[in-house]
Structure 1
Amino acid sequence: MKSLQKGFTLIELMIVIAIIGILAAIAIPQYQNYIARSQVSRVVSEVGSLKTPVETCMLDGKFELSQNVNGCQLGATGSNLLRGEVQDGGTAIPTNTGVPQVTINQNDNTATIVGTFGNNAAAVLQNSTVTWTRNSGGSWSCTTNVPVRFAATGCPSA
């Protein structure tokens, strides 16, 4: 009787492993870029969500901002993608709280909200910022200093 051997040859297995390696070399960087872009979009949205409470504080004349000064509630919760900053007026917030920095200038009726990437953000985004700026006319604009390929729609990279 003849004995039939079944299975893959060593060369066939090596070819399959090489193909998987080539696909992984292409896919992993693309996935990391996708994650970084989605993190920028998320931070633009999270930082931008503070525009309404800042407007309310400005309209109510409560310009001394921290988390809760003179009844002005920002409602800012920490983000795991942001570093904490020192709030206007010198109120220190621990560095890993993920609370954006809010500054209001009552003299010229302007405001800025700055979120600085840190904590769990992608390595390429670390220490970059997303800034929402209110001009004296009351309109808001967004800018960021992340690499151009990661910039979110509506928030161009400077």
Structure 2
Amino acid sequence: MKRNQQGFTLIELMIVVAIIGILAAVALPAYQDYTQKSQVSTALAEISAARSAYDVAFSEGRAGAFFTNANLGLAATTPRCSAVTVNAPAADGAQATALQCTMIGSGTVSGGTITLSRTAAGTWTCATSVAQKLAPSTCTGV
């Protein structure tokens, strides 16, 4: 009498486990990069809203003491920024570190900074201390 196969052999199960292990080894670093990139983008979004208020305050001729977190609608800390710094513009309106966030996050994002700078012409640029692969497309990283 012939017997039918009743389940998987040990070698078949080990092959499936090996394939799952290889997929996990490839996916985990990609997921970590994705998570860190979203943390940097969130930090940028949290300070970007103050650019308009900064421009308005400068165009109204506000004194340097006016340029504070509270007056520009920023909190001292946010869910992604352990510290938010605001620096008053120079007489021509330029400021190399107008708005800066010290980031909270995982991996290399933690403790990194994201900085919004303003030129005398009113153009804003973004720079960050994290790797370029984690920086938003509008920012330059290291």
Give the length in aligned residue pairs.
137
Task: Confirm or deny: 8 A CA contact 1:67 1:76 kept in the other structure.
Answer: yes
Cα drift, residue 42 of structure 1: 2.5
Deviation at residue 109 of structure 1 after TM alignment = 2.4
Q: Does 1:41 align with 2:41?
A: yes
CA distance, structure 2, for counterparts of residue 117 and residue 156 of structure 1 = 16
CA distance, structure 1, for counterparts of residue 44 and residue 11 of structure 2: 50
CA deviation digits over 1:15-65, x for unaligned, max 9? 111111111010011111111122222222322221011112223314323
Match of 1:63 in 2: 64
Determine the structure 1 residue equivalent to 2:99. 113
Bigger Cα displacement from structure 2, 2-11 vs 109-118: 2-11
The answer for unaligned runs of 5 or more in structure 2 is none
Residue identity in the other structure for 1:123: G
Instruction: Output aligned runs, 1:5-20, within 5 Å.
Output: 6-20=6-20
Give the secondary-structure state (helix, strand or coil) at the position aligned to 1:7: coil
Look up the equivalent residue of 1:126 and give its one-letter code: S
CA separation in 2, counterparts of 1:106 and 1:148? 29
Distance between the aligned counterparts of 2:30 and 2:69, measured in 1?
38
Distance in 2 (alpha carbons) for counterparts of 1:4 and 1:106: 85
Select which of 67, 82, 86 maps to 1:102.
Answer: 86
What is the TM-score when the length of structure 2 is the normalising length? 0.82
Distance 2:50 2:69 in 1: 12
Normalised TM-score (structure 1): 0.75
Amino acid at match of 1:107: A
Report the 3-state secondary structure (helix = DSSP H, G, I; strand = E; otherwise coil) of the residue aligned with 1:114.
Answer: strand
How far apart, in 1, do the equivalents of 2:106 and 2:36 lie? 6
1:83 corresponds to: 82
Please identify which structure carries the higher helix content: 2
**Cα RMSD, aligned residues only:** 2.1
Percent identity over paired residues:
34
